[in-house]
Amino acid sequence: MATAALFILLFACMFMGMPIAIALGLSSVTTILMFSNDSLASIALKLFEATSEHYTLLAIPFFILSSAFLSTGGVAKRIINFAIDSVGHIKGGLAMASIMACMLFAAVSGSSPATVAAIGSIVIAGMVRSGYPEKLAAGVITTSGTLGILIPPSIVMLVYSAATEVSASRMFMAGLIPGVMMGFLLMVVIYIVARVTNLPAQPFPGFLQLAKSGGIALGGLMLIIIVLGSIYGGIASPTEAAAAAAIYAFLVAVIGYRDMGPIKDMPWRKEGEGMASVFIRNTVQMTLAIPRSIYNREVNKVVLDAAKVSMMLLFIIANAMLFAHVLTTERIPHSVAETILQWGLPAWGFLIVVNILLLIAGNFMEPTAILLIMAPILFPIAVQLGIDPIHLGIIMVVNMEIGMLTPPVGLNLFVTAGITGRDMLWVIKSVLPWMLLLLFFLMLITYVPQISLFLPEYIDAMKGY
């Protein structure tokens, strides 16, 4: 009875177009008031606790802030140059370089649509110019853009660990191998396509040029190294790593790359400027740039944009915690698990059901919303069936990736349509073959748990647990 009320209310509210946070909160509060004795004061207290007692959740605003500073066209361009210099000389190299650029940019930005927009608007045109079919170019970029949520640091993974209380560090460890593998898989397929259809290769620019573009890109890529290094090494928690990342991203964007802020586009060395003058001018400008950023319009806008997204996410999470509270007090996952065990559904059968359920949900909802609604239900069942929670998390994230490619709400499709100026149907057709690859990859992830679990277990073993 309570279960029915909860879900009917939730879906009714959601499909009315209400903000998801309020749909979650309203359905939970109403169910609590109807079926239990909790007072409104205690529910209000719960909401306050949900926003003020979860230190790990703070990683979300900090990562969003750091990605807001680095999700710019300038950073994308530097990463693309580096990727083209390193793999462009292979057959089909430009496409491979684009995939590599997507992987790297995805790790820095943590967002799939942003990756497609930034990398796609530069490389799709470039690929067409050097003789690639536009359909191939669009399909590859739209698909590899989804890696944004799989390659750590990923905001979607943080949301999963918020919903299930699985360690975010371990999720970040688990995502690395699947993410790199997925990128590698795409590259191999591109290489085969390039061999068959004789796609062009770029000339190798020489090691000096590679080192130079690598050095320039490293400014942004250091962020990944700092974050993953400190988390994998057990030096810092994700929250602390994220705070450091946000400050580092600010320094790189404003002082290193000078893509925004008070000394925007100011060259490190003006033409014909003496070394002493370069040193003094830069030191003074850089020192002044930090206080000047406080009232710089561009910097303010980046911070405000990050604030908007993060409070939206945190408000949903707070309400989702009320929802999860209702689920546990009504013992809903427990009774679902019992039913499933009674049916004799084995773990692999359960995983098929999970995948189908998530793929359908992915058509209509955003990844964070799906995770917050589904994870608290699926998690206890998976545990009863002996499925590792980390593995379940990676399966869910890969499903969300596919959801970004399926209409009507596939975010990446909209972005690609916007960049190429084509209609949705054309984009969907271009993505279709790559989506099949992604589905194959989903099967692989689902039935070979070692892909996800190897790294976290290896790191645990190394630390001697």
Partner 1 sequence: MLGKILGRLEESFLCLLLVSMTFLVFAEVVARFGFNAGIHWAQEITLTMSAWFVLFGASYGVKVGSHIGVDVFVKMLPRNVHRAITMLAIVLCLFYCSLFLYGSWIYLSKLHMIGIEMEDLPIPRWMPTSVLFIGFALLIVRFLVLLWGVVTHKTDGFHLADEAKESMHIAEEIRAKNKQEEAN
Do 125 and 336 form a contact (C-beta atoms < 8 A)? no
For partner 1, the closer of residues 365 and 451 by Cβ is 365
3-state class of 88 per DSSP? coil
H or E element at residue 400? helix 389-403
Question: Cβ atoms within 10 A of the Cβ of 90, count?
Answer: 18
Decide if residue 29 touches partner 1 (CB under 8 A).
Answer: yes
* Total site size for partner 1, rule CB under 8 A: 83
If the CB atoms of residues 98 and 446 are measured against partner 1, the closer one turns out to be: 98
Q: What is the CB-side half-sphere exposure of residue 279 using CA atoms within 13 A?
A: 3
Q: Note whether 443 binds partner 1 by CB under 8 A.
A: no
What is the residue whose two structure tokens read 């680095």? 70
Q: Is 388 left (phi over 0), alpha (psi -120 to 50) or beta?
A: beta
* Choice between 94 and 241, CB closer to partner 1: 241
Which of 146, 399, 412, 452 binds partner 1 (CB under 8 A)? It is 412
- Compute φ and ψ for 440, nearest 5 degrees: -60, -45
Which residues 233-272 are close enough to bind partner 1 by CB under 8 A?
Answer: 236, 239-240, 243-244, 246-247
Residue 4 CA, distance from chain mean position: 33
Distances (CA, A) of 276 to 74, 94, 280, 281, 445: 28, 41, 6, 9, 56
- Build a one-symbol-per-residue string for 119-138: x at contacts with partner 1 by CB under 8 A, - elsewhere: -xxx----------------
Q: By CB under 8 A, what part of segment 35-54 binds partner 1?
A: 39-45, 47-48, 51-54
Cis previous bond, 267, omega within 30: no
The nearer residue to partner 1, 103 or 118, going by C-beta atoms, is 118
Closer to partner 1 by CB, 238 or 449: give it.
238
Tokens matching residue 180: 């790199």
For the CB of residue 3, give the shortest distance to partner 1 in the complex, in Å: 20
Site for partner 1 in 272-301 (CB under 8 A): 300
Mark 294-333 with x for binding to partner 1 (rule: CB under 8 A) and - for no binding.
------x--xxxxxxxxxx-xxx-x---------------
Q: Which of 65, 252, 358, 396 binds partner 1 (CB under 8 A)?
A: 65
Residues 174-213 that bind partner 1 (CB under 8 A): none
Q: How many CB atoms lie within 10 A of CB 215?
A: 11
Contact status: 82 vs partner 1 (CB under 8 A)? no
